Amino acid sequence: MVNDVTPATAEGPGQSRTAAEHGFAENPYNPHAWIIGDPRIGPGTWIGAFTVIDGSGGLTIGAGCDISCGAQIYTHSSMRRCVSGHRYGNVERRATKIGDRVFIGANAVVNMGVSIGDEAVVAAGAVVTRNVPARAVVAGIPAKPIGRVVIAADEVHIEPLTSGRSA
């Protein structure tokens, strides 16, 4: 049996619905991405399925970026409001900036208020809580520098950091 995916209003196994039918606002990047607020997204940027792109606190994503499936980029946090039983009445918001040609791996999380420099790499599953310099490679929870992107002529490779050296 062929499991064809039918567009628009069909429901059931193997069938697809539009972003609007899922409750997501339509966006030009991926019908299965949740993009809220008014993020500024540069030309040539690709956004994978099942991503959360939160532009509610000010978000800039540069040109030529790849935001892999399941990545989450935040510009807000309701943590203080929640744990205070709403005595702290505000949702905190801080602008987040992602430079040009940045790769963000699958299921990575970028927290509010951080900046990621041009040509940086955020490994799959990393949680970015601090600024990331240009051409740095970060991984882990919390994300820490593990290497540098080296671009020379037609070659691109990752140079691992040696002990005591930062990105």
Number of domains in the chain: 1
Task: Note the pLDDT tens digit of each residue in 153-163.
Answer: 889 999 999 86
Strand partners, 47: 67
State the pLDDT confidence band at 116, using cuts at 50, 70 and 90.
very high
- Do the domain assignments include residue 145? yes
Residue listed under structure tokens 């946090």: 77
Average pLDDT, stretch 47-59? Answer: 95
Task: Note the pLDDT tens digit of each residue in 65-100.
Answer: 999 999 999 999 999 999 999 998 899 999 999 999
Per-residue burial over 16-42, b if 16 or more Cβ lie within 10 Å, else e, is ebebeeeebeebebbbbbbbbeebebe
Catalytic residue among 22, 32, 86, 157: 86
- Do the domain assignments include residue 114? yes
86 belongs to the catalytic site: yes
- Do the domain assignments include residue 138? yes
- Do the domain assignments include residue 154? no
**What is the pLDDT, as a whole number, of residue 12?**
45
Does the structure show a pLDDT above 70 at 18? no
- Do the domain assignments include residue 60? yes
- Do the domain assignments include residue 48? yes
- Do the domain assignments include residue 122? yes
The reported pTM is 0.82
**What is the pLDDT, as a whole number, of residue 27?**
83
Residue 62's domain is classified under what CATH number? 2.160.10.10
Task: Note the pLDDT tens digit of each residue in 117-142.
Answer: 999 999 999 999 999 999 999 999 99
- Do the domain assignments include residue 2? no
Full domain range(s) for residue 119: 30-97+107-149
